[in-house]
Amino acid sequence: MSTHDWIAILDFGSQYSQLIARRIREQQVYCELLRFDTPASVLAERNPKGIVLSGGPASVYGDKAPKPDPAILDLDIPILGICYGMQLMTQHYGGVVDPGDYREYGYAEINVLDDASLFKNLGRTLQVWMSHGDSVKKLPDGFTALASTPSCPVAAMAGGNGKRFGLQFHPEVVHTPQGVTVLRHFLFDACGCTADWKMSSFIDESCRAIREKVGNRHVLCGLSGGVDSSVVAALLHEAIGDQLHCVFVDNGLLRAGESDQVRDVFGDAFGIDLHIADAGDLFLERLAGVIDPEAKRKIIGKTFIDVFAEKAREIGNDIAFLAQGTLYPDVIESVSPIGGPSATIKSHHNVGGLPPDLQFDLIEPLRELFKDEVRVLGRELGLPETIVDRQPFPGPGLAVRIIGEVTAERVTQLQQADIRVQEEVMKLPNYREIWQSFAVLLPVQSVGVMGDDRTYEHVIAVRAVRSLDGMTADWYRLPYETLDRIAGRIINEVRGINRVVYDISSKPPATIEWE
């Protein structure tokens, strides 16, 4: 936990809860997303500068509506309720919430009635984003309306001697253009926060905490070459130096050149104790004849654990910790009322299933960070852009981009096709807009003509998508000129390919990966 000023966000199941946290952190104020039923005593002990009650899908008068510890609303610190959070506050202080005469979903224009606090210097009308069916019908005693719309008389409110605020709209979304300014008024004017949560201070604090926890013992880190594990390795190396031991399992299913990049960056440039397991042949041997995607994933996962465990035993030393790249979204998946009380981390982020003789305590130095913050941290630690800006890559590697059996020949074909996709896409000035771009080797052959000869060769599908978090994705409109160069290069330069197609399906209904 940061020693800086911080804001607690109680999550009542809003689809925007993570976005509230991101917007606050963008103002260089630390915040944490907590369960809606976090006890007031826990919050009081940790002394936040303010509390945000998030939105949520429930109605406050419903039988199973999630409710906070009532004592939280009696704490002598500023509280901001957003949508459902505002309605909770209204109900708690004796106001009335009922189904609205009109539902409001989407853009709305509010009339500012009082511009002395949250709406200071923002003018008399604001465009906002509404998403509610219930409305405040009667304000609690001591509260006043700060804004209204024709169908929502209380679009914002304040009371509690200047320490209680409510917004019926969502200031955290981009559809509320001046929403960040509204949040800043809460953070800095109402709560008195200091904007001092920077990545450089995070590094200092993390290194201190890591040294304190590890002492003179050693840490094992599974290094994949992806952003998360790379930043974990760099941060741990900064903190404990040669007490860190990294294992890189080269499964032979990586993109062309990625294995060499990991060796160059971490073994040479950073001087980390790097242990490389060249296990490509073993993975291919176990995948021989396997076509089912889930069977592939299980075989790759089991083989990875076998190889990783063997390397860990070889290293020996006094290894007490296993470092993992768990991120904040992984931690808070189970925070919402829908998720229940457990705090299980998604399995694909962990080296799970290690044998009984390899029991480690976990160390997760990135568990307070979002993905974009991890990239900033990576730059602060001196990692090259090729790693920091690396696109997400599936754990099973190219095996799930080879539809059908995985063989050495097919891996090479896909690697060669994929590198040409990457080279052409990276020439685009807006390359960073693309969440993922890659090639897929299809299990079909098609007729073609090369020179005077008829060919019957393989097909490559090219996929590029735009996304914020991978949960949904839209196919990316690559320029025709880029598609033309990609197709021409793959067909002319990669032996065995005579046709290239472009995947224009979005998620949902399709997924980003083909398997």
Annotated active-site positions, please?
A: 83, 170, 172
How many Cα atoms occupy the beta-carbon half-sphere of 499 within 13 Å?
14
Buried b (16+ CB within 10 A) or exposed e, 329-343: bbbbebbbbeeeeee
Tell me which residue of 191, 235, 246, 255 sits closest to 392, measured CA to CA: 255
Peptide bond into 509 cis (omega under 30): yes
| Burial (Cβ within 10 Å: 0-12, 13-18, ≥19) of residue 280 | middle
Tell me which residue of 400, 436, 71 sits closest to 227, measured CA to CA: 436
Q: How far apart are CA 329 and CA 25, in angstroms?
A: 14
Spell out the residues 6+ positions from residue 3 whose beta carbon is closer than 8 angstroms to its own. 205
How many residues does this entry show for the chain? 515
Handedness of CA 442, 443, 445, 451 (dihedral sign): positive
Q: How far apart are CA 12 and CA 37, in angstroms?
A: 9
Tell me which residue of 121, 122, 129 sits closest to 16, measured CA to CA: 129
Cα-to-chain-centroid distance, residue 355: 29
Instruction: Give the residue carrying structure tokens 């299990």.
Output: 443
Spell out the residues 6+ positions from residue 232 whose beta carbon is closer than 8 angstroms to its own. 221, 323, 324, 325, 365, 366
Beta strands in 116-208 (DSSP E): 125-138, 144-149, 152-159, 164-167
The pair of structure tokens assigned to 124 is 């008399």
Q: Are 338 and 314 in contact (CB under 8 A)?
A: no
**CA distance to 142, 148, 386, 397, 463, per residue, from 90 (Å):** 11, 16, 50, 51, 49
Per DSSP, the three-state class of 460 is: strand
Instruction: Give the residue carrying structure tokens 């103002």.
Output: 27
The DSSP bridge partners found for residue 500 are: 460
Strands 79-82, 125-138: pairing kind = unpaired
Q: Are 325 and 377 in contact (CB under 8 A)?
A: no
Read off the amino acid at residue 431: Y
